[in-house]
Amino acid sequence: MSAETSLVMHAQEENWLPILELAVEEVFEIMLGHRVKPVPKEGQEPPTEFTAMVGLAGALCGILTICCDQETAREMATSMLGPEIADSEDQVSDALGEICNIIAGNFKNKLTGTHGCMLSVPTVIKGEEYTFYSLADGELLETVMLFEKSLLTVSLRLHS
Residue 152: name the closest of 66, 32, 87 by CA. 66
| Residue pair 97/34 in contact by the 8 Å Cβ criterion | no
Task: Note the pTM of the prediction, 2 decimals.
Answer: 0.88
Q: Is 26 exposed, middle or buried (0-12, 13-18, 19+ CB in 10 A)?
A: middle
Q: Please name the amino acid found at residue 105.
A: G
Q: Name the average pLDDT for the chain.
A: 86
Q: Tell me, what's the pLDDT at 156?
A: 94
Q: Is a pLDDT exceeding 90 seen at residue 27?
A: yes
pLDDT of residue 49: 92
Q: Are 31 and 99 in contact (CB under 8 A)?
A: yes
Domains and CATH numbers, the chain: 3-158 (3.40.1550.10)
Model confidence at 11, in pLDDT bands (50, 70, 90)?
A: low
Q: Give the list of residues 6+ apart from residue 64 with CB closer than 8 angstroms, or none.
A: 53, 54, 56, 100, 103, 104, 107, 154, 155, 156
For the stretch 46-84, pLDDT in tens is: 788 999 999 999 888 899 999 999 999 999 999 998 887
110-124 pLDDT, tens digit per residue, is 987 777 789 999 999
DSSP state of 98: H
Measure the CA–CA gap between 132 and 67, rounded to whole angstroms: 12
Contacts of 16 (CB under 8 A, 6+ apart): 10, 111, 139, 141, 156
Share of the chain above pLDDT 70, in %: 89
Please name the residues in contact with 51: beta carbons below 8 A apart, sequence gap of 6 or more: 65, 66, 67, 124, 125, 130, 132
Encode pLDDT of 85-99 as tens digits.
Answer: 767 888 999 999 999
Q: Give 70-79 pLDDT, tens digit per residue.
A: 999 999 999 9
